[in-house]
Amino acid sequence: MKLDEFGLIRTLTARVPVTGPHVVLGPGDDAAVLEALPDERVLATSDTMVQGPHFLPETMAPFDVGYKAVAASISDIAAMGGEPRHVLIALGIPSSIEVDFMESIYDGVGQICREYQCTVVGGDVVRTDGPLFINTTVLGATSRPPLKRSGAQPGNLVFVTGYVGSAAAGLDVLRSSSITAKEDAAFLTAAHQRPKPQVAAGQIFSLEGATSCDDISDGLASELNEIANASNVRMRIQTQRIPIHTAVRNLARVRGTDTLDYAFYGGEDYQLVGTASPFQFARILARCESIGISVQQIGRVEAGDGVVAEFPDGRLDVISAKGYNHFAE
Amino acid sequence: MKLDEFGLIRTLTARVPVTGPHVVLGPGDDAAVLEALPDERVLATSDTMVQGPHFLPETMAPFDVGYKAVAASISDIAAMGGEPRHVLIALGIPSSIEVDFMESIYDGVGQICREYQCTVVGGDVVRTDGPLFINTTVLGATSRPPLKRSGAQPGNLVFVTGYVGSAAAGLDVLRSSSITAKEDAAFLTAAHQRPKPQVAAGQIFSLEGATSCDDISDGLASELNEIANASNVRMRIQTQRIPIHTAVRNLARVRGTDTLDYAFYGGEDYQLVGTASPFQFARILARCESIGISVQQIGRVEAGDGVVAEFPDGRLDVISAKGYNHFAE
C-alpha cells in the first residue's frame, strides 16, 4: 500500500484521539491551537526513542514502541505533578517499513492516549535511511507549583510508587531464555513494554506539598543522585525497604544476579521517587493508598551529599549514578 | 572529548537562550514550566529533518541544520498568526559525530532563537546508528483567532510575502557548478540555509482579518492546493505577478530551466501565502510595507476547486500539488 505523506498522516491520525477538552484546533493545519486555562501553567517535555539503543524488534512490538514512547513523556509531566493533555508525534521511518507497521505504532499511541485522556494534536512522518525513531512531545498543565528535583530537605522522607526494577527484569526475560513462571514473565514483560506513568500519584505529591520528585526513567540510583545534587542533600536509602516485586526476586534467583541491581540501575520503570516531610508523607500515603496507588518509604534525606545505601547487616555503601546512560563509554 | 549525556546536554544548553519571558522553569528538570497568559491560546507544532531526505552535509553546515530546523517550526507558528516562544530540540546523533559538530548545530539553534526572541526549554540527545536527525517542537501563543487554511472565500485576493523559489534555486546552486554571480549565489544559498520565517507578517495577517494562511514549506503549488481544498474554493494565480527574485531568473536562464518551476514546486521558502478581502488586503499591504515586509498580490479566489495558473499569453493551466513529497514514489 503506497500512500503519499498527507494520505499517510490522515490514515495514522484516524487511529488516535484528536479531539477533547482544551483542543481548539487539532492536527491538520500548520500548528495545533490549545486552550490554556487561567491560573494554569503549561508543562512541556520531549523524548526520543531510537531502534537499537532504546529498543529492539525482538523485545518491543510496534504497538509497544508507540505506547512506551508516549508513556516516557507522560511520565515527565507526572513527575512535575501535572496533568498530561496533548501529544505531538514524529516518526522516522526506514523505507523497509510498511504502513501496517506504522499503524500499529499509532495504535499503541492511541491506546495510551485514551488511558490518560490525552489527544494527539500534531504529527510528522519522515523517511530515514537509518533505524526507526520516534519523538514524542507531551504538553500538560498544572495550577499548582510544579514539583522539582531541587526541594528535598534534611528530615524529609524518601519514597517511591509501585515497584522498581521490574522493567529491567522484563527486558532480561525478553532477551534471554531464563526459566520464568508464566505469570512472572507476563508481569515483567508488561512492565517493560507498557509502563504506566504515575500521573495520579504526581498530582497527589504536588497537592500535598512533596518537596521534590523525579520519575524513574534512568534507574533509581540515577534519579536519587539527581535529587541529591539538585537539592544539596544526602539521600540515605534502606535497601530492604525498596519495593521489589516477587517476580524480580524469582528471576534474580534463577539468574544468580543481585535483585538490587535491577532496582538501582534498571531504569524505565516510570515510577515516581519523591521527598516530603513525615507529616506530608503521611497525607500522601493515605491519599495514594485510598485510590490504590502503592507508595513506600525507602529512606531519609540528610545533610550531606550523594546517595548512601544502608544494608540490612548495617553495611553502608555509596550508590553512584550509573544508571543507563546513552553516552557513557 | 567524551561527555556523558547530562554533561553533553549542559554543554549544548549553554549555547542557547534558556531564560526569558513566559519561562517559569527552563530545561534541566523533567519538564519545562511555561506561563500562559489569560486570553491566549497555545500553538504547538513539530518538525523533523533527517540527513539524506532533508539535507546533505555538502549543502548544509551543522549551524544551518540547527537554524533551519527551528525556522521550519517557527514558520508554522507564523502561519497561524502567532508569536513563537519556546523550542524543544531532539537530536539523533550518529556515533561518528563529535561534540563540536553538535555545538555548531546548537549555535544555529541559538542564533535563530535570539533573532525571534525564543527560548529553548527542553532537549534530548540520543545516539542513532543511522543518519543525523533533528526534531523541533515550537510552542507559541496568540490572543487572536488563529489563521487556518480553511477560510478563503470567492472574491478574496491571494498574496505572498517576500520572494518564492529562492530556497530551491539556492539548493541548485549548492549542488551544481552553475555559473552564478557572487551576489546571486549569496542570496540564494542564504535563502536555502537560513530561511527567515515571516512572524511579523503572520501577526499582521491575523490582526487584519486574513481569511486563510499557510507557510510555503512544500512549494507554492502544494500550499495553494491545500488552501483551495480546505476552503472549497479555486485559486486563480496570475503567473507574472509571482514575486521571483532576479537571482532566480538569472539562474534559470543559465541552467535553461523554468523560473516558475522554482516558484511553484521549490518549497522551503518559509514565506506566507494568504487570502483576504480586497479591503483587508489593502490594510495588510499598508501595515506590512510600513515595516519593510514585502507583500504581493498574485491572484484571486473564485468559486470552484483546485489551482489555476493564468499565463501572460492568456493560457490557463491546472497547477497540481506536486511540491516536494517525502512519500511520493
Query: Is B328 within a domain?
Result: no
CB within 8 A of A282, min separation 6: which ones? none
Are residue A118 and residue A238 in the same domain, yes or no? Answer: no
B217 located within any domain: yes
C-alpha distances in angstroms, A170 versus A47, A180, A183, A215, B205? 21, 11, 12, 18, 54
Averaged pLDDT for residues B311-328: 76
Q: Are residues A231 and A266 in the same domain?
A: yes
User: Does position B30 have pLDDT exceeding 80, yes or no?
Assistant: yes
Mean pLDDT, chain B, integer: 93
Cell of B32: 519545562
Helix (H) or strand (E) holding A123: strand A119-128
Give how many domains chain A has, as a whole number: 2
- Model confidence at B85, pLDDT cuts 50, 70, 90, reads very high
- Model pLDDT, residue B278: 98
What is the pLDDT at residue A124?
A: 87
Q: What percent of chain B has pLDDT over 90?
A: 86
What is the per-residue pLDDT across B178-192, written as a single tens digit (0 to 9) for each? 778 889 999 999 999
Angstroms from B254 CA to nearest CA on chain A: 33
Terminal alpha carbon distance of chain B: 42
- What letter represents residue B216's amino acid? I
| CA dist A280 → A207, A250, B5, B245 (Å) | 10, 34, 34, 66
Give the pLDDT confidence score for residue A321 in this predicted structure: 87
Among the listed ranges A124-133, A258-267, B19-28, B317-326, which one has the minimum average pLDDT value?
Answer: B317-326
CB contact under 8 A, B329 and A2: yes
Nearest CA in chain A to B36: A41
Co-location of B172 and B105 in the same domain: no
Name every chain B residue with its beta carbon within 8 A of the beta carbon of A149: 29-30
In this predicted structure, the answer to whether residue B118 has a pLDDT above a threshold of 80 is: yes
My answer on whether B45 and B90 are in the same domain is yes
| CATH number of the domain encompassing residue B258 | 3.90.650.10
pLDDT band at B1 (very low <50, low <70, confident <90, very high): very low
Cβ separation of A45 and B25 shorter than 8 Å?
no
Statement to judge: residues B308 and B277 lie in one domain: yes
- The three-class DSSP label of residue A288 is helix
What pLDDT was estimated at residue B4?
Answer: 67
What's the N-to-C CA distance of chain A in angstroms? 42
Which of the listed residues A82, A115, A142 is the one where a domain comes to its end? A142
Q: Are residues B225 and B311 in the same domain?
A: yes
Q: What pLDDT, in 10s, does the model give residues B194-228?
A: 999 999 999 999 999 999 999 999 999 999 999 99
Q: Which regions of chain A are under pLDDT 70? A: 1-4, 323-329
Q: What is the pLDDT of residue B323?
A: 52
CATH assignment at residue A116: 3.30.1330.10
Which neighbouring-strand residues pair with B27?
Answer: B29
Residues B136 and B284 in one domain: no
Q: Is residue B325 part of a domain?
A: no
DSSP A272: E
A270 and A176 both lie in a single domain = yes
Least CB–CB distance from A46: residue in B24, B88, B327: B88
Q: Of A91, A117, A142, which closes a domain?
A: A142
Angle, CA of B131, B132 and B136, to the nearest 5°: 135
Indicate yes or no: CB of B90 within 8 angstroms of CB of A124: no
Q: What range does the domain containing A55 cover?
A: 5-142
pLDDT at residue A3 in the model: 53
Last residue of some domain: B142, B167, B191? B142
Q: What are phi and psi of A265, to 5 degrees?
A: -115, 5
pLDDT at position B6 is 72
Residue B128 and residue B173 in one domain = no
Neighboring chain A residues of B32 at a CB cutoff of 8 Å? 43-45
Statement to judge: residues B127 and B170 lie in one domain:
no
Same domain flag for A67 and A178: no
Q: Which residue from A137, A18, A128, A54 is spatially nearest to A89, judged by alpha carbons?
A: A137
Q: How far is B183 from chain A (nearest CA, A)?
A: 33
Do A199 and A281 lie in one domain? The reply is yes
Residue B323 located in a structural domain: no
**pLDDT confidence of residue A1:** 40
Kindly state the average pLDDT of the residues B160-166: 97
Q: Is residue B151 part of a domain?
A: no
Q: Which chain B residues contact residue A206 at CB under 8 A?
A: none
Q: How far is CA A12 from CA A4, A71, B229, B327, in A?
A: 12, 19, 20, 14
Global ipTM? 0.92
* B324 within domain boundaries: no
Residue B127 lies inside a defined structural domain of this protein: yes
C-alpha cell at B140: 507559541
Distances (CA, A) of A322 to A232, A318, B75, B255: 19, 11, 41, 58
Q: Give the pLDDT score at A328.
A: 40
Euclidean distance between CA atoms A235 and A132, whole angstroms: 38
Residue numbers in the known binding site of A are 30, 45-47, 54, 76, 106, 123-124, 149, 215, 217-218, 268, 324
* Inside any domain, residue B327: no
